Amino acid sequence: MAIEYRLLGRTGVQVSNLCLGAMMFGMRTEPDDSYAIVDRAIERGINFIDTANVYSRGVSETITGDALVRNGKRDRIVLATKFHGAMADDDPNMRGASRRHIIKACEASLERLKTDYIDLYQIHRPRSDTAIDETLRALDDLITAGKVRYIGTSTFAAWQLVESLWAAERLGLNRFICEQQPYNLLDRRVERELMPMAETYGFATIPWSPLGGGLLTGKYQRGQEPPSGTRFSSPNAMQRRRFNDRIFDVIEGLEPLAAKHDVPLSQYTLAWVMAQRGVTSPIIGPRTMAQLDDNLDAADVALDDEDFSAVDEVIPPGQMVAPFYEADFGPHRFRV
């Protein structure tokens, strides 16, 4: 099957059905290894790369930009980044979704990425303290200025996206075209409302954490300490909540299904996300070249109705055994 290309929502833009996430660049992956990962991904058909200004406080964007300068492939890549997270500890305005921060954050991202435009500029999390029209007006101005091509969201609730569509239509602004949602076989909550909403209104979906933050790679076993150097060997508070006995019920139920295809659990579970209705391009976040190759090989795993039924027996649609988001879903104080 290999890498294929899918429409990015209603835009007409074609993106690979896997998106290379650059969160590890500059954090756990050195620059030279990051450049090699970008090159290999492009060689194997990836044309979609996602990063964020908050990843290592700009280092990921810098490395991503350097990689595309070095290989000369910027024009072939749909380049996505995000704003919202704190970019300074001592300035409350160096974060969020205000016009003031968005304009400044975009200029800084353009400089780090060494490009004069961002294909997809996304708000990293919703903000209940900022009216959605404030955010949309600033993003619309960036599109008009040619600095941004399209705009999107990450970890928004279905109602927040519908509200944003209403605001954009009423005010004559560019609308969000995609949503990055947490979606994996430990957390299927987005199937309840968000996925049907996205399909109804033409949103592309770009699932993050399709391997459950590494929990669905097969490296963790019930009753055993997490391998040294892995994410869960020294987890933060949110990760500790994810690491529970219920996840092993799912993992142990999925392992025989992967074995039937003679593929690793990682490839089976990633292939499952890729195959779900309404999914555009799951984000992979490899730390090493071996992880990248393993993720890319998931594009060759063909699942059928028997697989989908068997998976639903292990973890039913819409269910969650490990939480993958705690977003701010409070009401916007919307003003027109």
Name the amino acid, one letter, at 231.
R
Which residues partner with 123 through β-bridges?
83, 153
Instruction: Look at residues 81, 88, 205, 183 and name the one whose alpha carbon lies nearest to residue 139.
Output: 81
Residue 75: C-alpha distances to residues 116, 264, 292 (Å): 11, 34, 22
Spatial distance between the Cα atoms of 296 and 266, rounded to a whole number of angstroms: 11
Rounded distance, CA 184 to CA 191, Å? 11
Active-site position among 55, 183, 220, 268: 55
**Residues 6+ positions from 298 with CB-CB distance below 8 Å:** 18, 263, 266, 267, 268, 270, 271, 274
Query: Quick one: angle between helices 245-260 and 305-314, nearest 10?
Result: 160
The number of residues in the chain equals 336
The H-assigned helical ranges of the chain are 31-43, 59-71, 99-113, 132-144, 158-171, 194-201, 237-242, 245-260, 265-274, 289-297, 305-314
Establish whether 55 is a catalytic residue.
yes
Write out the catalytic residue numbers.
Answer: 55
